[in-house]
Structure 1
Amino acid sequence: MTAKKGKVRISKLKRSNQKRTKLARQGKLKHKRNKKAMPKPLFGGPQNPPHQGTNEGEEESDHDLGILDMVDEDDIDFLKNAVSSRSYSLLNKIRYRNDSHKDVNKRKRAPDDGEREIEDKYEEELLEPGNKKTKYLLPIKTKQGIVCRTVEEEEEEVNYEDNEKENIPEEGKAVEPDSESDGEIVLDETVEGDSLNPNVPVNTAQLIFHRQQLLQKRKFQIGVLSSGLLEAPETKVKNFKVLLEIMEERTPEIHITVCKLACVSLLEVFKDLLPAYQIKHQETAGVKLKKTTLQLQNYEKSLLKAYKMYLQKLEKLTNILCPKRGNTKVFSEQEIALGKLSVQCLCELLVAHPYFNFSRNLAQMLIPFLNHRFSDVRERVAEAVKTVLKEDKKGEISLDIVRRINHLVKSRSHSVHVEVLGVLLSLRIKDVNLDKEKEDFIKQKKFKTHRQKLLTMSKRERKKSKKLEELEKELLETKAEENVQSKQQNLTEVTKTVFTIYFRVLKQAPSSKLLSVTLEGLARFAHCINLEFYHDLVNVMDHMLENEPLGHREQLHCVETVFTILSGQGDVLNIDPFRFYSHLYRNLLHINAGKSHGDMQIALRTLDAVLIKRRKKISNQRLLAFTKRVSTLALQLLHNGTLSCLALVKTILTMNKSVDILLDLDSTVGQGHYFPELEQPEYCNAGNTALWEMTVLQRHYHPTVRKFASHILHNVPATGEGSLPPELAKQSPEVLYTNFDPSDMAFSPSVPVPKKNVAKGRPLGKINFINQDLENYTENIFKAVNTTFS
């Protein structure tokens, strides 16, 4: 007999495990968190907790009964009763199963009826809806029983401003960006609607409080956005857009203040983030790039776009200071201050990044402000332009600035402020020689022989030389050094443009206020002029000194220009500077400790060129006359000017032993009397006088002046009595003038306080008066004086 095959019986536990495994493979299994399923018994009966050690592979865990053992019995009974009676709203959703078979032998305690009633009443009244909220205070226990205390308070309505305040973190706490927004902050547009209702009357305090609230919100937004950009500019580059939107704040209470804050914040961000090179992108269509390269290009494009928008907004704000013709709008002081701030931001950007993109546009915007009606705007722009010209290493930005200045002076017909040409004095063109191009051409022409002219290059050789030139050009670009040749070409163009401006001023506007700064520029850069122009320039200076009504400063500049030319390449010219000696000798006495004390620097440079550099071409009588005039000038200057004059006299005495005659007090030897009033140094008989000024300067208030005067009177000894310390002996007159400048109201070294001299009077006992009344009167006077000063 064959047995029938029946279905295999499977237990419920195995079937449930199979179902669970199937759902887990399909990913449909729902995991229960914070709950551990207890295995059901195969046969009926109570579920007992597993004991340690029953299964070796089973992990130990905390179970409910273990926790219940640690809870007090009274607390367990209280919670059971609270859940069953639903006295706490918090426990309404908790289901309680009263297991009577558990804890039968436990001790039970009946709850206090009074306490239960208080708690039930509190829960019921707390859930009742209403406008008024009942606040329960601590109950008081008295002899009569427990007294409950309550206070009714109205519910506060939720305002928009309160929600805004909740979103603003406390000061000093870090702001954690939301994970979904990737740390970017979007401009809160609801701030635009925070303006007060014009139909509701408010007082001044409310207006100020409302403005402070709005301003605080904007400050917080600007600070978080700016700090985010500085921390991670590549990932938070979109913050630029929000900051630029904040610059266009429309709320009238905080419009100008918020715009200023946004301008300054963006200025500091751009100063830190902008690179030192220009950003240039080429279209790479169809070219696959690395992920990092693509991210860098996108970041640079976004940065350049934001920088351009920022400059456009600043330019729009600067139009407040320079309104267009026909615009009759009157701007307030706050708007003018905003315009000045925008000019300052442009200046700082040009100084910080003169080689970045749009630097030429910055120069074009700022040059017209050198001729602005506000003096503080002119000074600020002039300082920025001077800094750029001093630190320029390529010459490109200098050339752009000089061309803009040339166009401005020409378009205004030389009717501009002094600051327009004053910035040109900061140019670094001392090493430029305009004759170099001509000399190089002559050299090339000279070394070309007849044989080289006959030789011609073949087509292959020309192609080869062309490739070599391109290769050299590429090698220059790959080097991390500046191209010396291109820099020299730029500086040559700068020099030509500068002298074009100066010569046009001398020819067309010799009586304008630009003459002084023009002459100063010619004196500083005269050595760069072509040699063929030297003679004409000297004649122009002589004509101006004789015929034009020049001031003392302008005359000193003319003389300085001439002697600068003659001390350099113009030394080969056959020019007699006799008349210029007379102009310098006459104008020295016009310098004093007052307003003209600043002209002493011009006189020092000119005297150095006349008495030191050209000492072999000056006669002995002129040298004595100028030495005497300089020592006389030292009596009417501040101590820094006096020190520079004495240093110059010391140098003359060291280099020319014939000047020692001025230290001799014997006046019998000579050609006559000294005439200090004569304007010709040749005929004043300076050799018949002495440097008596040094005796007066030995009692000067400044100790360093006294040392120099004593050093000269001892005939400038190198060592021994009357010698100078090495740190003073090595300094030039110009360095002494700068180091001891008293404009900061401080002496270097400090002058000691003079000692108080107490007058010693005669004892009255030795004075015998014939008249007794007179003696009594004098005694009373002496007593009164001693009482007053004691």
Structure 2
Amino acid sequence: MGKKKQKIVLPPELPPDIPEDEVEVSDDDLQFIKENRSYASLLSTLDTHSITKHVTRVADAKDDALEKLYEKRMQKNALKKEKEETGLQVDRADALPIKTLDGKLHYRTATKTVSENDPSEEGTAEDVNADEGMVKLTKSEKRAKLKKMKKEAKKQGKEMAKTEVEDTPQAAVLAEIKEDLTAEEAFESKKCKLAELGSALLTDPESNIKLLKEMVQISKDNNHTIVKLGLLSLLAVFKDIIPGYRIRLPTEKELEMKVSKTVRKMRYYESTLLSAYKVYLQRLMALENKPLFQHVAVRCICSLLDANPHFNYRESLLDATVRNISSTNDAIRFWCIFSVHHFSL
């Protein structure tokens, strides 16, 4: 059995449009409205404008009249669009759009503002200036104007000079503060660098033996405090990593021979250590005669002689210790005597 097709029920046709003059109201209608005013209050709240806006069909209208109505509506819509286009559209990245039931996106707009440099205004200003230029000044008026201009220029020059004089001490103070800050930052960074290099060498000297050269380079800084810190840091590192034997560098024939990786690595470690140690001792010998660094330099020399009396360049350390044994400084003299006595045992 096939399904029966459902009949489509069409909506009823609209009643004919009757003009208001032809509408006749009976007494019964008036009496009914008086008795049931509460029902009629709903009609007073209806929005007739919105109803007519949505109703597109016109009852009992001819084709020509309908075309005119459609044309009027199209003109109204076009005018509305033009008004909307006159506004400045908000950037789509800044404002969220509104999506209508038709699926279209509408963005909020803002009215255009008149630019400050309006060409029309400029034109009026030029016209005014032109009108003013047409008036010729007398010689006395020209002289008075020139005097005023000169006075104003002098005043401006004096004010500029005052501001420059006031700004120069402030600028100098700011420059000094910046220099101090940069110097402090550089000092702190070098201190941290020395600490990092020293800790790396103490933890794994064989892998980080290259860092000795960098520490020696930092100890040659222009800052006296950094130099002292560098010398003392190198002293702690050398006392810890110097081996318990004298290093003998390989000869040319030994260098030409093939050796294993471990031997090659050991030779590199010993040669790098010995070269850095030699540069460090030369630095100490150069600073022992300077009053600013004599205390630190002699202390490092005596400490190295006490800790490693068997190691390379011990003769140089002993000579420097004996040289300073008659120093006027009690601390230096005590260190030298103690080191020589300990070395002779």
Q: TM-score, normalised by structure 1?
A: 0.22
Please report the TM-score for the alignment, with normalisation by the length of structure 2.
0.48
Name the structure, 1 or 2, with higher relative contact order (CA <8 Å, separation 6+). 2
Larger radius of gyration: 2
